[in-house]
Structure 1
Amino acid sequence: MRDMSAPVENIYNLIPKEEIRVPKPPRYTSTFRDSVKVEEQKNKASHKTMGPAKVEVPSPKEYLQKHTHEATLAQKSAFLDSTGRAPRFLAEDRKRPPVPTRTEQPIMGVQTNKSFLKTNVAEAVMAVPKKPLPVYVDTKKGDKHLLETSGLVPKYTKRKDYGSTPEYLAKRNEEVRRAQEEYDEYVRERLRMGAMKQLSEAERENVLEGLRKNWDELHHEYQGLSVVIDTPLKKAHKERLEAEMRQLERDIDVIERHKMIYIANN
């Protein structure tokens, strides 16, 4: 495509340019080419004339006669009589056995006076009517679905163990209670030996007040830092203040969650 910004007449256009030819890809050659050639030459030699070379010429006396193709139809109609029905000796083999007459006895010799009509009526009267399955309709066209599998029936509230504590929760609560008893026994034993002492409520409040005061001082100092932290010294000072504040927050949370605190005497 010619550049529209360049003028039509340009001295560089007078320099002949070498034509760049794109090489074509190799031509596709089938792998069955040789076998196809051999097969074509083999079958071509026997059909150089009109039709196969060795064909027996039909005799003029054996020409196609009239009704030649109707031979099968004629053979089939040979078994029918003048009325178009099959002969008796052929029809007997194809017939079903005749219906037994009223006077014939059953084959097994079993007879009964049972009235099937009355029996069916009695069974229909005494039968329990079939209860329809509970369904629900969710569209205006009347699409029905089973109510039991829909989740709308509170069937779990009718269970015998409904509302009771599950077995695994009772087992876990028992383990927690046993562990707490063992810990309390250990603490009492250590207190009797004089290895630990328990902080009173006043001492606990004093410790909390001191931790909160220290946190307020660090927070005040942290708020006074410069906005731009451009030196390694300022960055290290800021990181130190953040670490100390996080540690104080953890200590305050531990003391607030535990009412009884023990301190070793040593």
Structure 2
Amino acid sequence: MNQEESIYNLIEKPREKVIKPAMYRSKFPGELPPSASTFGASRSSQVFVTNVAGSLDGPSVAHQFKNAAANFGPLRVQKQHPNMFMKKGFGHPPLKKPTKFEYADKSRKTFVPKRTEKPVMGLVTTKNFISANVVANILKEPENLVQSPTNEMPRHAEYGKVPEYLQHVKNEIQEEYNYIREMHREENIQVSEQSKIKLLQDKEKQELLIALKMKWQDVNKIYQTRTHEVVLDTVGKLRRKEAYEADLQQIEKDIEKLSKQYVFLRENPE
């Protein structure tokens, strides 16, 4: 059949198993240096040229014939992310925005006079500095070199105040007291609530059960008289039926609770 389309083309043809040839293994050991090679000959205990005779027994020296990393580059190179390249200003902090220069000290010295400026000439004083110095030393009071003793201690800025760390300690102690007082209050509340719970006596429980069963019988008797009414054409009939059903369910729940072995009662606060 030479047709282009055929149903036989849908049948999966078996795949031919490709037989791979055996891996090539050299008969020469790969750990030996090549003959008359200068690559990696960096040890001081051998000549610059390694394995000149082409021996297959290995190097006859005490050291290796090359360094551990003597290769065309490192053995494992960690690839760097394309965005991790050195950018402008790398390693330098950004400069501040330039501003007008101003002197820090406003009280600057006067400017040096210009060469065109002339000093004031002809100033003469009549003061006798020698006699003035003598008079000043005569009238000067002697200095009191001996300091008078005083009992006052030097006062600093925080003199007479409670240290700040003591205030923190007082606050922590007050918080602990408040926490303990709150715990005692909660314990007292729990104890008072537990004291209001009491166990119902068997005699009282039996009396309540009898009363509930009698009440259930009375309500059920009234309810049974209403069950024959199939058509509930008024709202009053429907509400009365629902009220009887709710009363019966509530009484059954109460009877189930009182039928337990132990029944506890909680006193309601007045």
Q: TM-score range by the shorter chain?
A: under 0.3
Q: Considering fraction of residues, name the structure with more helix.
A: 1
TM-score of the aligned structures, taking structure 2 as reference length: 0.26
